[in-house]
Amino acid sequence: MSFRNGLASLLRPEDSVLVLIDHQPYQLANLNSHDPQTVVNNATALAKAARAFDVPTILTSVIADRGGLIFPQITDVFPGQEVIDRTFINTWEDRQVVDAVKATGRKQLIIAGLWTEICVAMPAIQALGEGWDVTVITDASGAVSVEAHQVAIQRMIAAGANMMTWLALAAEWQRDWARMETAAALTEVIKYHAAGSGIAYLWEQQLLNTPAPSTAS
């Protein structure tokens, strides 16, 4: 296995394409590797980060008539965008999804979905075999058990995939806080989805805008 290192190995928004897979009620109902609320929050944050950095995002579900529609927290980020509804369990066997990804002209493929051990692992492993640079966002994904999630991650790492969390990805896309064209938008995502960091930022802004008490007698 070749090591993933060096500046060129870091993710860049202009080279990235995001595929969000099966964030649906049926899958969420048997999500046991994470707190379901946390996964919904993280997947939403990931979607908002992609929008902030103008990263093309493909939304896909599997048999939505039975499994339910993708969470509105995600689809609301991309109003009016078509959701590709599949029958294939393996997203990467669906020609419409693959063609949509290829049409972006980007090679840094980022994937998150439910469940990690099935609907994330299969496309990640296939895409790796076809030469794609694949990153899986582990905290915007989830499995039917902690073991299933961990084993899937081990399997994908063995196949050459890169593992990240949504906030690490967003920071890697930003890279420099002097990039003001995206800094404000990313800060908005952090405020509402990064828990302690977001609240601490709001507190800092409050303190900075609060006049110091007068010392006059």
Q: How far is CA 185 from CA 77, 154, 169, 206, 215, in A?
A: 13, 33, 15, 19, 38
Cis peptide before 166 (omega within 30 of 0): no
Q: Is residue 57 within 8 Å of residue 18, measured between CB atoms? A: yes
- Residue 109 and residue 17 in contact, taking contact as beta carbons nearer than 8 Å: yes
Two structure tokens written together for 178: 């002097």
Joined together, the tokens standing for residue 154 give 């081990």
40, 74, 119, 125: the active-site residue:
119
CB contact set of 172 (below 8 Å; sequence gap of 6+)? 10, 11, 164
Is 119 catalytic? The answer is yes
Strand-pair partners of 198: none
Tally of CB atoms within 10 A around 81: 11
- Measured distance CA(97)–CA(208) in Å, rounded: 47
Active site positions, annotated: 119
